[in-house]
């Protein structure tokens, strides 16, 4: 689905529901300047039979424009017509996976399959969309949505997908459909929701920005606290090693030598913390990846690890500069007198 997709849903507070399927369909059909197609969104999993073969598949109840809305292309036959929808005809369009598994690559157009104990005539076949898989988009049987009386126990259809001509048309159509649905489903009786995919993406992107800012703020505070911690450690180190610094300066050590020594130490401390953080992050990404994507191994890229390590060193040296500079300015005579 792209940015020109519009989703419609509605619900009633009481049991006195009104089926708006036909009205929504005809309204969208009249909006020819902005809308290409409309279809209900209702589906179930059930077993289909052809002769001695059976297969569990996804049965979708849609309109004659389902292929337009869901980006399917026909390879054989044709879509059923709107007259088939109105007359509740027992016709269907099947996916390529069913053609392969049930019909053994034969042309299924004109043949009959059984769904829910009733015979349906195959009038078309969809082209393969996402590779043959039982749980993929090609294991599909599309029937007229008016068959929900039989296949869905007359469960009301309350969700629809609309495909607009383009993103600009989707924005215009969304506003018109909101007005239409508000009149059909008053707030005292229920609610209606009309939203374009572009609006959903914009909202999602805004949430991502907020999360990024929050994460950035937390990371910034963590860096500041960690950096101050490194600075305090190095200041204590300078205090405890004042005599050592005095001896080094007395035998000819330059300021840059003292600064370099303490910067290397502070950078090393920060790098050790960074390595621990990298290892923890890699472990968490591996665990979460296994939970969400069992067949994939999610690990950070090498350049990310190297970048994080270098950044850790830079942070340590930045916050270690003040103690290092302070150590380099010590008077060697005063430093040698310290206990």
* 6-10, 38-42, 218-222: least confidently modelled range: 218-222
Cβ–Cβ under 8 Å, residues 92 and 141: yes
Task: For residue 124, list its beta bridge partners.
Answer: 77, 93
164 inside domain = yes
Q: Outline where the chain has alpha helix (H).
A: 21-30, 66-69, 82-86, 96-101, 148-151, 167-184, 197-240, 242-250, 255-292, 302-328, 332-337
Task: Answer yes or no: do 95 and 184 share one domain.
Answer: yes
**Structural domain harbouring 105:** 5-201
pLDDT band at 18 (very low <50, low <70, confident <90, very high): confident
145 inside domain = yes
184 inside domain = yes
Cα→Cα distances 217→166, 212, 224, Å: 38, 8, 11
Q: pLDDT digits over 45-65, tens only?
A: 999 999 889 999 999 999 999
Q: pLDDT digits over 78-87, tens only?
A: 999 999 999 9
Task: Answer yes or no: do 170 and 292 share one domain.
Answer: no
Task: For residue 57, list its beta bridge partners.
Answer: 46
- For 214-247, the DSSP string reads HHHHHHHHHHHHHHHHHHHHHHHHHHHTHHHHHH
48 inside domain = yes
Task: Answer yes or no: do 56 and 133 share one domain.
Answer: yes
219 inside domain = no
294 inside domain = yes
Task: Answer yes or no: do 197 and 49 share one domain.
Answer: yes
- Is this model's pTM higher than 0.75 or not? no
Task: Answer yes or no: do 63 and 196 share one domain.
Answer: yes
User: Does the pLDDT at position 68 exceed 80?
Assistant: yes
Residue 268, Cβ density class (10 Å: 0-12 exposed, 13-18 middle, ≥19 buried): middle
* Domain closes at, from 174, 201, 228: 201
Task: Answer yes or no: do 47 and 133 share one domain.
Answer: yes
Task: For residue 85, list its beta bridge partners.
Answer: none
* Dihedral angle, C-alpha 311, 316, 318, 322, nearest 10 °: 180
Work out how many domains the chain is built from and give that number: 2
pLDDT band at 1 (very low <50, low <70, confident <90, very high): low
* 93-107, 190-204, 291-305: least confidently modelled range: 291-305
215 inside domain = no
Task: Answer yes or no: do 171 and 255 share one domain.
Answer: no
Task: Answer yes or no: do 83 and 153 share one domain.
Answer: yes
Between CA 17 and CA 8 the distance in angstroms is 16
252 inside domain = yes
Task: Answer yes or no: do 72 and 197 share one domain.
Answer: yes
Task: Answer yes or no: do 64 and 192 share one domain.
Answer: yes
* Domain closes at, from 201, 231, 265: 201
Task: Answer yes or no: do 294 and 167 share one domain.
Answer: no
* Domain closes at, from 201, 231, 252: 201
Task: Answer yes or no: do 21 and 160 share one domain.
Answer: yes
């Amino acid at each position: 689905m792209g940015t020109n997709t519009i989703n419609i849903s509605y619900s009633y507070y009481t049991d006195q529901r009104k089926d708006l399927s036909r009205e929504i369909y005809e309204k969208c059909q009249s909006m020819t300047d902005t809308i290409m197609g409309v279809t209900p969104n209702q589906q179930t999993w059930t077993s289909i039979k052809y002769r001695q073969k059976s297969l569990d598949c996804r049965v979708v109840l849609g309109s004659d424009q389902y292929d337009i809305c869901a980006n399917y292309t026909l390879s054989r036959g044709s879509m059923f017509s709107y007259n088939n929808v109105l007359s509740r005809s027992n016709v269907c369009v099947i996916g390529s996976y069913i053609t392969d598994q049930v019909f053994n690559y034969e042309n299924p157009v004109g043949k009959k399959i059984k769904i829910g104990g009733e015979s349906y005539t195959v009038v078309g076949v969809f082209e393969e969309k996402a590779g043959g898989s039982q749980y993929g988009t090609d294991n599909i049987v599309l029937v007229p949505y008016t068959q929900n009386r039989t296949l869905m126990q007359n469960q009301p259809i309350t969700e629809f997908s609309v495909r607009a001509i383009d993103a600009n048309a989707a924005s215009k159509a969304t506003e018109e459909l909101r007005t239409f649905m508000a009149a059909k489903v008053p707030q005292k009786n229920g609610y209606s929701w009309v939203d374009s995919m572009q609006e959903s993406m914009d909202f999602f992107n805004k949430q991502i920005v907020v999360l990024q800012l929050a994460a950035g703020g937390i990371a910034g505070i963590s860096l500041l606290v960690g950096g101050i911690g490194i600075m305090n450690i190095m200041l204590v180190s300078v205090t405890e090693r004042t005599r050592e610094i005095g001896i080094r300066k007395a035998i000819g050590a330059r300021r840059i030598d003292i600064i370099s020594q303490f910067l290397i130490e502070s950078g090393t401390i920060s790098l050790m913390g960074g390595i621990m953080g990298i290892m923890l992050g890699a472990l968490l990404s591996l665990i979460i990846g296994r939970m969400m994507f069992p067949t994939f191994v999610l690990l950070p890229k090498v350049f990310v690890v190297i970048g994080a390590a270098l950044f850790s060193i830079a942070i340590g040296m930045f916050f270690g500069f003040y103690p290092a500079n302070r150590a380099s300015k010590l008077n060697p005579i005063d430093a040698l007198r310290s206990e």
